[in-house]
Amino acid sequence: MKKFIIIQATLISFCVNAQEPLTISNQRHKIAGDILVVALPTLTLSSTFIWGDGQKGAYQFTKVLATTVALSYALKFTINKERPNGENNYSFPSAHTSVAFASAGFLQKRYGWEYGIPAYAIAGYVGYTRIKANKHDGWDVLAGAVIGTGMSYLFTKPFNKDKKFQMVSGFVENTPTLGFTYKF
């Protein structure tokens, strides 16, 4: 077991030393961004069940997330922009940022600005962590933010659980009708 741990530590040390080392502060930002890019979509999906939104909200968020990830990686493999740290050629756009902004955009569009503002602040911090970790530049992060927000606006409809006043239309004996309903 000790040999296995020593081999792992050696491999990790080699991988870390192959790139430009990050300061302790930048390393902490990187770790925080890596955690938040998983936590934000998880909390977003959970919110659809917490607020009684059910399958419609979960389905909409799944579409948002799937198209965001697909578009981000399609662009990464097509554009082949080198990362600032020279690690590989998959810098543009920042997928971490696009996923974070997709989650924030969904929360804002579906449930309102009172949830969107804190979510956008967290998403902005995720983008900041990608720059501090020397994985992306500002253009990569901006493109990720545009992609994530765009996909959320494309596939998300506002949720109104307490919709009491509603306009309805239909036909009564082949006559088009327009009316209003109010739920007590």
- Distance (Å, rounded) from C-alpha 42 to C-alpha 122? 14
Write down the domain spans for the chain: 23-182
- Tens of pLDDT along the chain (184 residues) come to 444 344 444 434 444 444 567 788 778 878 877 888 888 899 888 888 877 776 788 888 999 999 999 999 999 999 999 888 888 888 899 999 999 999 999 999 988 898 899 999 999 999 998 888 888 888 999 999 999 999 999 998 888 765 544 445 566 666 665 554 544 4
Burial (Cβ within 10 Å: 0-12, 13-18, ≥19) of residue 100: buried
pLDDT of residue 36: 84
Which pTM was predicted?
Answer: 0.74
Exposure b/e, 39-60, CB count within 10 A at least 16 = b? ebbeebbebbeeeebeeebbeb
Concatenated DSSP letters for 24-55?
Answer: HHHHHHHHHHHHHHHHHHHHHHHHHHHTT-HH
Nearest residue to 151 via CA among 43, 75, 68: 68
pLDDT of residue 182: 45
- Distance (Å, rounded) from C-alpha 97 to C-alpha 149? 10
